[in-house]
Amino acid sequence: MHFEIDGNPDYGEVVVALSPGEDLLVDSGSMSRMSVDLDVRATTMGGLLKALGRKLFAGESLLLGRYHSERGGIIALSPAVPGTVMHRELRGDSIFLTRGSFLACSAGIEIKTKFGGLKSLFSREGAFLIECSGSGQLFYNSFGAVEEHQLDGELIVDTGHVVAWEPSLDYTIRGMGGLKQTMFSGEGLTMHFRGRGRLWLQTRTLPELAGWLGAYC
């Protein structure tokens, strides 16, 4: 499998060249163009219950597209929102993604939904997380540009700005205000990261954009 990412950081797109017999699992609606030699079929990846969990709790698609060709081919993927497309090669390790960040992966990667803790239920972004593990190529995306932080200590981040982080980092979800504000407004929630590892943040958040647009509708 070979790939090329263009359009970053504003309108990222990844073009993947599949070798004969290779599969690529793609988030629903992300394919923009492909070779005629590629076949696609819907898959729940891990079974219906796991797929329902990803859909209901983590905001991901119920079905993924499995693209395959016996002769190889090209497929281009464009996320639903403007921003950056990122790549990570997993080699028996894992990475955590937040709501809506998954774009595509090769067949050797497993996707699981993880609960972020009781307090995270008041957050639209941090309640349920996606854990990607195994071996293969992983593509994920952000809303806006991405900042990579090599953390060695502690960092507090608004939940809406978190895209991904390495499992070597511990985190807790906290409210910036009192309990009443956390419960009824959904605002002021942060993720408090500790440890050593990499953390990827996005410069924009969809909930804030939706709120801003709502004032003019």
Three-class secondary structure of residue 173 per DSSP: strand
Q: Which residues are registered as beta bridge partners of 89?
A: 137
H helices within the chain, ranges in order? 48-58, 179-185, 206-214
Helix (H) or strand (E) holding 134: strand 128-141
Peptide bond into 82 cis (omega under 30): no
Structure tokens at 214: 């709502």
Largest CA distance in the chain: 59
pLDDT of residue 49: 47
Answer whether 75's CB lies under 8 Å from 38's CB: yes
Angle made by CA atoms 82, 10, 90, in degrees to the nearest 5:
80
pLDDT of residue 205: 86
Positive or negative torsion for Cα 147, 88, 125, 217: positive
Mean pLDDT in runs of 10 for the chain (217 residues)? 96 97 94 95 65 48 84 95 97 94 95 66 60 97 96 94 96 70 60 96 84 75
pLDDT of residue 149: 97
**Which domains does the chain possess?**
2-214 (3.60.160.10)
Q: What letter does residue 65 receive in the DSSP assignment?
A: E
